[in-house]
A and B are shown apart, each in its own frame.
Chain A
Amino acid sequence: TQLLEQSPQFLSIQEGENLTVYCNSSSVFSSLQWYRQEPGEGPVLLVTVVTGGEVKKLKRLTFQFGDARKDSSLHITAAQTGDTGLYLCAGYTGTASKLTFGTGTRLQVTL
């Protein structure tokens, strides 16, 4: 079973601060996805990264896929209260339907 470890598990910061969430595995993934989940709702896809070393930006969010395709990071610049939620990474090995989710990072942004 592939394991995706996320760190930190919990993060509480003030609005305007920067933060980075990490997603690490000993397994190689053909692609990696990041999701955000708000209370009482299902996860919503933010981005998919496919190529080793790839960097994708989504407004204030920057996603990077490690060169070896075993790890990824999510960096948020100038966090806002609307960024509050559970962030999940998920790795795909290329075998049909096999998406492995990380343990999650719960982010709280306060005024």
Chain B
Amino acid sequence: NAGVTQTPKFQVLKTGQSMTLQCAQDMNHEYMSWYRQDPGMGLRLIHYSVGAGITDQGEVPNGYNVSRSTTEDFPLRLLSAAPSQTSVYFCASSYSAFLSSGNTIYFGEGSWLTVV
């Protein structure tokens, strides 16, 4: 009963390096998303996907790319890391993109990223 799995848990990058945060869910959910969490700012939506082959930008997409080649996986790529991207990243999924009552969003445990 894995739910939403994120890897790695912790990562330190140098400015300018690239990396991919992995996210996988085993609940056959159509909707997947990436958030970043910074102190005093809640969670902010980076990118989201309403199904395989479909992605869209959220509130803070700059510096990040995503793809959704399968229903299960939704990787987040940092093309050229910057110190401003130091944050905790959460992947989330739900059955439907329409987040009404009865449609629960499930979050992964988070990936702590530090860019030096």
- Interface set of A (CB-CB < 8 Å, partner B): 1, 4, 9, 30-31, 33, 40-45, 48-50, 88, 90, 92, 94, 96-99, 101-104
Contacts A43-B43, A104-B42; is A50 near B104 (CB within 8 Å)? no
Which of B14-22, B65-73, B95-103 lies at the interface with chain A? B95-103
Contact yes or no, B109 A97, CB < 8 A: no
Residues of A with C-beta under 8 A to B101: 31, 48-50
Determine the distance from Cα of A17 to Cα of B4 in the docked complex, in whole angstroms: 35
Contact yes or no, B44 A101, CB < 8 A: yes
Residues of A with C-beta under 8 A to B40: 9, 103-104
Residues of B with C-beta under 8 A to A41: 109-110
Residues of B with C-beta under 8 A to A88: 42-43
Minimal beta-carbon separation of B16 from chain A (angstroms) = 29
Contact yes or no, A42 B92, CB < 8 A: yes
7 further interface pairs, Cβ-Cβ under 8 Å (given A30-B100, A88-B42): A42-B110, A48-B102, A97-B31, A97-B50, A97-B58, A97-B97, A101-B43
Contact yes or no, B108 A42, CB < 8 A: yes
Determine the distance from Cα of A102 to Cα of B40 in the docked complex, in whole angstroms: 9
- Interface set of B (CB-CB < 8 Å, partner A): 4, 31, 33, 35, 40-45, 48, 50, 56, 58-59, 90, 92, 97-102, 104-105, 107-110
> Which B-chain residue is minimally distant from A6 (CB atoms)?
B42
Minimal beta-carbon separation of B40 from chain A (angstroms) = 6
- The DSSP consensus for interface residues of chain A is loop
Contacts A30-B100, A48-B102; is A40 near B110 (CB within 8 Å)? yes
Minimal beta-carbon separation of A49 from chain B (angstroms) = 8
Contact yes or no, A42 B109, CB < 8 A: yes
Minimal beta-carbon separation of A51 from chain B (angstroms) = 9
Contact yes or no, B99 A97, CB < 8 A: yes
